[in-house]
Amino acid sequence: MIESEVDDVDEDEEEEEEEEDEEQEKVAEISPKGRFKRFYTELGRGAYKVVYKGIDHDKGLEIAWNSISLLKLPPGDRARIKKEIDLIKMLEHPNIIHFISGWQNKEKQEVIFITEITSGTLRRYIKKNKITKLRVIKGWC
């Protein structure tokens, strides 16, 4: 392959990456009152919950848009989810994620709640830093 062909391939790959980034940052959903916007960028996923990157237009900050599908939840867990959301609303501690807002989307059968965005999980931190002191782990709890 000659040099100009290599440059063309690199440029094509860069353009594809830019298009993917732009797609991830497109607005996928807007909150009922318009304060929050959800992007397609997925931050995490569990059995019943998906967390997306979003933005709070009132504060100008990135947020975590947490979506819990009620269709997949066993009926007994629905009450538990409500209790957990009520609990996180009341908690104010530097090591506990801050609840910002929440609502129910009856059309999609899901509960949405907005929290501050965190920089990662404890598991990722431990893996990244190899040796972790117990006091660091206790600080996360």
Q: Which superfamily is assigned to 3-140 in CATH?
A: Phosphorylase Kinase; domain 1 (3.30.200.20)
Question: Could you tell me the residue ranges of all domains in the chain?
Answer: 3-140
Instruction: Output the pLDDT for position 16.
Output: 60
Instruction: Output the pLDDT for position 125.
Output: 57
Contact between 139 and 95 (Cβ < 8 Å): yes
Instruction: Output the pLDDT for position 13.
Output: 62
pTM above 0.75, yes or no: no
Within 83-123, strands assigned E span 99-105, 110-116
Contact between 137 and 127 (Cβ < 8 Å): no
Q: Which residues contact 74 (CB under 8 A, 6 or more apart)?
A: none
**Across the 141 residues of the chain, what is the mean pLDDT of every consecutive 10-residue run?**
54 60 78 96 91 94 94 84 84 84 92 84 60 55 53
Left, alpha or beta for 130 (phi > 0: left; psi -120 to 50: alpha)? left
Instruction: Output the pLDDT for position 86.
Output: 85
Burial class for 85, CB neighbours closer than 10 Å (0-12, 13-18, 19+): middle
